[in-house]
Chain A
Amino acid sequence: MLDTLKIPERHYLNNGHGLASWLLTKDHKRIAIMYLISISVMFLLGGLFAMFIRLELATPQGDFVNADTYNKFFTLHGVIMVFFFLIPSIPAVLGNFLIPPMIGAKDLAFPRINLLSLYIYWLGGVFTLAAMVMGGVDTGWTFYTPYSATATNTHVIPTALGIFIAGFSSILTGLNFIVTIHRMRAPGMTWFRLPLFVWAHYATSLVQVLGTPVIAITIVMLFVENAFGFGIFDPARGGDPVLFQHLFWFYSHPAVYIMILPALGVISELISTFSKKMIFGYSFVAFSSLAIAVFGFIVWAHHMFVAGMSTYSAMVFSFLSFSVAIPSAVKVFNWTATLYKGAISFETPMLYAYGFMGLFLIGGLTGLFLATLGMDIHLHDTYFVVAHFHYIMVGGAIMGYLGGLHFWWPKMTGRMYSEFFSRIAAILVFVGFNLTFFPQFVVGYLGMPRRYHSYPDEMQVLNVMSSAGASVLGLGYALPVIYLLYSLKKGAVAGPNPFAASGLEWHTQSPPLTENFIEVPEVVSEPYEYEHAVAKESHLV
């Protein structure tokens, strides 16, 4: 069977050659590929800083770098990973590539704005990287005032401007998705026939569109304070630094959902495809995405329980933070129910999906610890918090991203990667991740604060475990770069639907045509219809 498969003659990758055909393209798929390369570079850079952090923390003394340099390392790690990798990762790469073919459209609603968003992302990256080259910034990725406004003499302005600019890239991507999902669906593609990946991206886009402008204006206020000596957050003039924290977290908490919601969408696709079953409780999974997006906007102050707020509002925010667990648990339970009596297989994407479920569960449950008022006072700003959000952002978002990348790689490139090496990498990532971050729960609970470059001797064992795990994790991330690039030339031809998945994107050739489909498709059946048509090859392409 595999011998007869051929890479199609015409596809989006060979429709035009040379640099200009890429830089001036309006094809969402080519833009997605350029995003993929850009965020991979950023991930490498952010990972490098993580490596420096773990190297420093391998010993209790501050012997690798001094405290100031260490401050810059964790700041740049956070800034690059959050704003230049995690936020764009799944939406700008997988969402950009897949939403149009998933809903049967030729392109996103605004192809030029899509390309613009990539250029804006690059411009933002240039500002932030320039700040890094000039000597970096040491405020932490949170830029808390008054330190960031009056005390630090590092490069807050260019870094913050980079984030401000990159924010518009995120807004434009979200805007494009919302309009595309509303207006570009193929005939018969009703809202409740949309893949859950698309529902998740719809919810994500709402957060991007409603949240990002608030961080933008917060940065503007920080900027005028730094650049012109205005005093909006200056306590010496009656300004309130805690207001900065409120405005910052009003975006930056929902930003967590920009990272995790698309990953939840990916996992829904993976679980259904690799258990060959209709997703359990489709509408519950779809609406839980929206519920998470809505709840995400009303829990921000749980980052500030010790910053000074009334007990009453702390209780309200604590309660609301607990309720985010409900839609999150709905998803996990529905995935588990989907697996039940399914024809489960263990291809690489599914390994990531399993890893995701376990890590997301731990990340979510430890979030409840932190949402508990009394507990949070003990755990605030310790490594427990660091471990918690890495379980969500790395264990959740990056596992989802890698799972999705492996799942749709054959669609994007037309080639299969090495199943053997990709499984090894998936296992390395899972093991390395847990070895890195689980000890941090313990060390944090014992009282090790975050953002210090030295610590008491008795905490060394756990920190060495963490640093060792980081090396394994790094290996797990490096391996895919090798075998995925190798697959571009030598990989077996994948064919239109190597995983026998049901989504519309699998009903076109791999790699797809520039217009995605030869003719406008008409959808005549429900999503995830596996029971009726198990693993039948599509005859349409």
Chain B
Amino acid sequence: MSNTVAHADPHAHPHAHAHHPALQHHFDTMSQQKEAAVIGMWVFLLTEILFFGGLFVAYMIYRVWYFDAFAEASRRLSLFWGGLNTAVLIGSSLTMALAVRAAQTNNRKWTVNWLVLTMLLGCVFLGVKVIEYEDKFANYEVPGANYNWVYHEQHAAAEGHAVEHRPLSQTPEQLQRTTQLYFSLYFTMTGLHALHMIIGVGLMLVITWMAWKGKFDAEYYTPVEMSGLYWHFVDIVWIFLFPLLYLVERHT
């Protein structure tokens, strides 16, 4: 096969000019290395879409089958906390984008500052989530043996609050069963989302430490950008989760 291969070394003198310290040996150039990371990250996000996709399919089917149960159960979520968290996450996406921009422009101090702020907002989100989950446990709204659909109303009545009655197509006994599907999906979806947030914050701790150590410059800031892509993705998942879980027929 004398003609199959010719020898060509794109770097005739590989050590004649200094390589960037972050360039790994199996890549030829920084741009090749960066493109590989970018494609890899997008492919990873694609797998994440398919991962959450299975839950969205289950949600879609049960919402069509048991719409009233979903609408009723959705009212048990707090619009205030959900809305606040939406705002917090969108804000954190902004600070993340600013962190990437700061890294791009060699601004070490602000890279670190924006990253820290992003992590703080992420923690605020998780804290609010804890408050919301706490409320569900207190009201027996966690699916399983202790699930009690009417506890909420009984409790409100016992406290002397007015209980609102809407005409429903399902009896309380039916709702006791079918609303568990809603809360099963609610906890699985928001739980997995929260897990992604925790991973994101952990990731960012490492990136912040690397930025603090001055590992990044205008030529190499791929890790900042990649964790940014991840963070925005987790944000977008919430942008879908919020209306699907909190806003089922809330206009009436």
Contacts and interface: CB of A to CB of B under 8 A. Distances in A.
A153 interface: no
A232 B58 contact: yes
B26 A540 contact: no
Contacts, number: 167
A224 B177 contact: no
Contacts of B7: 519, 521-522, 540
Contact of A217 (B6, B54, B144, B184): B54
B51 A523 contact: no
Interface string A232-253: 1000111110010001001000
Contacts of A224: 184, 187-188
B52 to A, nearest CB: 7
B5 A179 contact: no
Interface stretch (A74-82, A180-188, A306-314, A451-459): A180-188
Nearest to B59: A232
Contacts of A521: 5-8
A402 interface: no
A529 B4 CA distance: 8
Contact of A175 (B1, B43, B144, B185): B43
A109 B145 CA distance: 49
A421 B28 CA distance: 44
Nearest to A187: B8
Contact of A214 (B5, B10, B50, B145): B50
Contacts of A213: 47-51, 53-54
Interface stretch (A59-67, A324-332, A530-538): A530-538
B40 A110 contact: yes
Interface in A107-128: 107, 109-111, 113
Given A179-B43, A232-B185, A187 B53 contact: no
A212 interface: yes
Interface stretch (B60-68, B125-133, B232-240): B60-68
Contacts of B192: 220
Contacts of A250: 54
A188 to B, nearest CB: 8
30 contacts: A109-B26, A109-B36, A178-B43, A179-B39, A183-B32, A183-B36, A188-B6, A209-B47, A210-B47, A212-B47, A214-B50, A214-B51, A217-B54, A221-B58, A221-B188, A229-B145, A231-B143, A232-B181, A236-B177, A237-B181, A238-B66, A239-B181, A240-B62, A250-B54, A507-B5, A519-B9, A521-B5, A521-B7, A523-B5, A538-B2
A218 B5 contact: no
Interface in A200-221: 209-214, 216-218, 220-221
A337 interface: no
A507 B4 CA distance: 9
B177 A533 contact: no
A387 interface: no
A106 interface: yes
A105 interface: yes
Most buried by A among B5, B10, B57, B188: B5
Contacts of B48: 213
A276 B41 CA distance: 40
B187 A504 contact: no
A524 B8 CA distance: 11
Contacts of A502: 1, 4
How many of chain A's residues touch chain B, expressed as a range?
35 or more
B44 interface: yes
A353 interface: no
Interface string B1-44: 11111111110000000000000111010001001100110011
Interface residues of B, number: 50
Interface string B180-202: 11001101100010000000000
A221 B40 contact: no
A525 interface: yes
A239 B61 CA distance: 10
B55 interface: yes
B40 A520 contact: no
A504 B4 contact: yes
Contact of A529 (B1, B26, B36): B1
Contacts of A229: 143-145
Given A179-B39, A180-B36, A529-B4, 10 more contacts: A109-B36, A221-B58, A224-B188, A230-B143, A231-B184, A232-B188, A507-B1, A524-B4, A525-B3, A538-B1
Contacts of B6: 188, 521-522, 524
A539 B10 CA distance: 22
B162 interface: no
Contacts of A420: none
B169 to A, nearest CB: 14
Interface in A489-541: 502, 504, 506-507, 515, 519-525, 529, 532-533, 536, 538-540
A533 B181 contact: no
A198 B10 CA distance: 24
B158 interface: no
B85 interface: no
B41 to A, nearest CB: 9
Contacts of A523: 4-5
A57 B55 CA distance: 40
Contacts of A540: 5, 7
